[in-house]
Structure 1
Amino acid sequence: MALSSSQVPSPGHVLVTGGCGFLGHHIVDLLLERHPQTRVSVLDLRTTSNRSSNPNVSYYDGDLTDKDATKALFQKLKPEVVIHTASPHHTAKNEILFKVNVDGTKALLEVSQETGVKAFVHTSSASVIHNPEEELVNADETYPLIAGKEQPEYYTSTKVWAESAVLAANRTPASFLTCAIRPAGIFGEGDVQLLPKMLSAYFKGQHKFQIGENQNLFDFTYVKNVAHAHLLAVVALLTTHKKLPSIPLDTERVDGEAFLVTNGQPVYFWDFPRQAWKEAGNTLPIESVWHLSFGTMMVVGSLLELACWLLGKTPNLNRQQVQYSCWTRYYNIDKAKRRLGYKPIVPLEEGIKRGVRYILEQREKEANGVAAKKNL
């Protein structure tokens, strides 16, 4: 059961990087819901979207990689807590990914250490333990981090390097506490990667096809549950901070630790988009779905990648997408349950309903806007 504002004291002044982004604005909203009087500052490259009307929230445009400017802002605001969600899209150029996710995180850590921040919660990714050679079956935090040449996604490598820097900074100085949250497959209102692509496939009639036999379990996580985990981490770090210089038992410790977070409901991969398509109006019986083999689609993905590379375009389907749709990839969240008191607050099916409803509402608004312009 989620902790209410009456059960947990206000975390003080909280600064959220990327607070106008997908996950970031959900964290801001949940923070205000639980602690209506708390002071929240949002630092983002552009703060024009997903803004809260709550007078306790202030917005600041800024570049994390500009350490001097960030330090000047921190000296002015004096935040006690930093929740670091800012990150480019995973398809951004490598130099941008490294500059923001690695250099930007290190600069933010240094500024936080130098200006008296007590608690630093970093948004990492469950993919940091993704091994392209092996499936992930009930994987936990004991799995090794995979980066560099062994990691096919450069985005994930930068997440590994950033998380490692965050955890290494714990208790330096002794009053500075850090931890990392590793969410898997985030979706929900404002999602720009998962549900929009799935619904786009449905609107194009591509829901009639399935790659593989759908025997691979996969984890998806509703965004509000991820926000919930971040706030639990903040509370845990601040509770530890009050007891300094003592150090919790290893079995209870949160500072210096990473936590995998999911909905705790792994499903067969194709069951997730089918549920989304159903919410969008799909009535196609499963018997009418065409099954395409993994091997065949890997060849198709390879050919599409080559053709689009020659044309300077991005393919609608690539080998990595084919692989992900057929691989088992789910996680063990017992550590987050034991040490953070984490328990998903929104079930998977309800999260899908909310996410799909949001997209359909946005499509309707856009259609109404186009119609209104035509009538002018």
Structure 2
Amino acid sequence: MKAQSPARVLVTGGAGFIGAHVVKALRERYPESGLRVLHLPRERLDNLDGLDGLEFVAGDVTVREEVDAAVAGCDVVFHLAAIYALWLPDMDVMRRVNVEGTRNVLDACRRHGVRRVVHTSSAVCFCGQGLDVESDERSPFSMEGMPYAATKRASHELAERFAADGLDVVIVCPAAPIGPGDIGPTPTGRMIVEIFRLPFAVALRTLVNVIDVRDCALGHVLALERGRKGESYLLAGENFGHAEILERALALCGRKARIIELPPSTLLPLAHLLALAAQITGRAPLLTPAEIRQARGGLVCDGAKARRELGLHVRPLDESLRDAVAWFAERGRIRLRGSRREPPGAT
């Protein structure tokens, strides 16, 4: 599809961590195409600073009329808008955004004759088979009882049904993204921030597949260009333990900290107590039973299909960590020793 540049592209969730990098990758790949970003009315747009020629549309994917107005006139749509949370005071909000919001976007794309949709799902739709099992796009869903995973699986199945009914949809399933621009931050980014603040850290004994957010964004663009209608593609890097990720981040900066690695099951009683307290206080717990269940099954996967069919190749973890640490340091989220505010070799 690269030979035919899209006239106008809509990116829902384009101000988010992955979404902003997708917008940047599209601007680089298709400098002449119009780029429209659908964002929440009060959402921060910091990650898009410095990009010219963007059309910003404030709206909510749960409001059909606002989605319809955003999709109108676009021939390509990237749907990334979603809530990623392991706990919310009202978990039904996540279902409305992740499932009904996806239905609204796909309905509008079909109604307006959009040429191709790239739907962002998640690796949780296939992972969780166990720490010794590398999941792929044929693996069954196994994260029952986890609201986020359930909503992503439901929206994934919606995209598959729309594709079967004729809409040109390609589905991408990112593993855990890491790199600069983690404004949230994500759970992986939060681990990195905390290890630089504290003299020790507790890491769950689990495995997680991480991918540089910039490679993840490129995977979205390659799915537009080379993906097959109705197919799913895991956008994945390598599988690492939580402790190894933290140790590497520290080593890049010449730092050390004590990392205590615990089996997930030992923290399950604490997670239940914290979740109960959260229901009373309305404040997010530091640890949830859903996190424990995910850690038990792991986020272990193989991105061979995306490498083979999309031509996606990913950079090494150390480069991603170096740039993530530098980004957090520049914004005062972490403090590095010495006069340099970034780790050696940061870009």
Match of 2:139 in 1: 143
- Deviation, 1:167, is 1.5
Equivalent residue for 1:362?
Answer: 331
Change (3 A) 1:280 1:316: farther
Is 1:113 the equivalent of 2:110? Answer: yes
Deviations 1:92-130 (A, max 9, x none): 432211111111111111111111100000110010124
**Would you say 1:204 and 2:195 are equivalent positions?**
no
Q: Match for 1:226: what amino acid? A: C
Q: Structure 1 residues 281 and 307 mapped into 2: Cα distance closer, same or farther (>3 Å)? A: farther
Deviations 1:147-192 (A, max 9, x none): xxx612111111111111112111644xx31011111111222221
3-state SS, counterpart of residue 220 of structure 1: strand
* CA spacing shift, 1:117–1:270, aligned 2, 3 Å: same
Report the equivalent of 2:172.
181
Task: Say whether the 8 Å CA contact 1:123–1:181 is kept in structure 2.
Answer: yes
- Picking from 280, 287, 290, the partner of 1:317 is 287
How many pairs align? Answer: 328
User: Contact between 2:195 and 2:246, CA under 8 Å: does it hold in 1?
Assistant: no
Q: Does 1:125 align with 2:122?
A: yes
State the identity as a percent.
26
Unaligned runs of at least 5 residues, structure 2: 336-347
- The correspondence for 1:190, drawn from 174, 181, 192, is 181
- Comparing 332-341 with 314-323, which one deviates more in the overlay? 314-323
Quote the offset at 1:44 in angstroms: 1.3
Does residue 45 of structure 2 align to residue 43 of structure 1? Answer: no
CA contact (8 A) 2:192 2:325 kept: no
TM-score, structure 2 length as denominator?
Answer: 0.84
- Separation of aligned partners in 2, 1:45 and 1:23: 15
Equivalences for 1:159-170 in 2 at 5 Å?
A: 159-170=152-163
For the Cα contact (< 8 Å) 1:37–1:56, is it kept in 2? no
Please give the secondary structure, in 2, of the residue aligned with 1:58. strand
Q: What TM-score, normalized by structure 1, do the two folds share? A: 0.78
Give the distance between the partners of 1:295 and 1:67, measured in 2 at CA: 42
SS of match in other structure, 1:139: coil
* Distance in 2 separating the partners of 1:74 and 1:321: 35
Q: Using the alignment, how far apart are the partners of 1:99 and 1:320 within structure 2?
A: 19
Counterpart in the other structure of 1:372: none
In structure 1, how many angstroms separate the alpha carbons of the residues matched to 2:125 and 2:191? 23
Moved more, 292-301 or 54-63: 292-301
CA deviation after TM superposition for structure 1 residue 29, in Å: 0.7
Per the alignment, residue 303 of structure 2 pairs with: 333
User: In structure 2, how many angstroms separate the alpha carbons of the residues matched to 1:365 and 1:155?
Assistant: 29
Give, in angstroms, the shift of residue 65 of structure 1.
1.9
The 5 Å alignment of 1:173-252 reads 173=166, 176-191=167-182, 192-193=185-186, 194-207=188-201, 209-212=202-205, 216-236=206-226
Q: SS of the residue aligned with 1:260?
A: strand
CA contact under 8 A between 1:42 and 1:58: conserved in structure 2?
yes
After superposition, what is the alpha-carbon deviation per residue over 1:43-64, rounded to whole angstroms, capped at 9, x for unaligned? Answer: 1113541334444311100111
Does structure 2 retain, via aligned residues, the 8 Å contact 1:123–1:182?
A: yes
Q: For residue 76 of structure 2, what is the amino acid of its counterpart?
A: V
Query: Measured at CA, do residues 338 and 309 of structure 1 come closer, stay the same or move farther in structure 2, by a change above 3 Å?
Result: same
In 2, distance between residues paired with 1:72 and 1:323?
Answer: 40
Q: Is the 1:129–1:145 contact (alpha carbons within 8 Å) kept by the matching residues of 2?
A: yes
The question of 1:259 aligning with 2:254 is answered no
Q: Closer, same or farther in 2 for the Cα pair 1:124/1:210, shift >3 Å?
A: closer
Distance across 2 between alignment mates of 1:112 and 1:210: 42
Q: Who is 1:244 aligned against?
A: none
Tell me, in whole angstroms, the C-alpha distance in 2 between the residues paired with 1:25 and 1:94. Answer: 25
Tell me: CA distance 1:339–1:317, structure 2 relative to 1, closer, same or farther (3 Å): same
Residue in 1 that maps onto 2:94: 97
Equivalent-residue separation in structure 2 for 1:293 and 1:365 (angstroms)? 27
Gapped runs of 5+ residues in structure 1? 238-253, 367-376
Q: What displacement does 1:357 show?
A: 0.7
Give 1:371's aligned residue: none
Kindly provide the amino acid, as one letter, of the partner of residue 61 in structure 2: L
Q: Which residue of 2 aligns with 1:245?
A: none
CA contact (8 A) 2:328 2:334 kept: no
Aligned to 1:351: 320
Match of 1:373 in 2: none
Is 1:269–1:326's contact at 8 Å kept on the other side of the alignment? no
Structure-1 separation of matches of 2:163 and 2:35: 23
- Which deviates more from structure 2 when the two are superposed, residues 193-202 or residues 110-119? 193-202
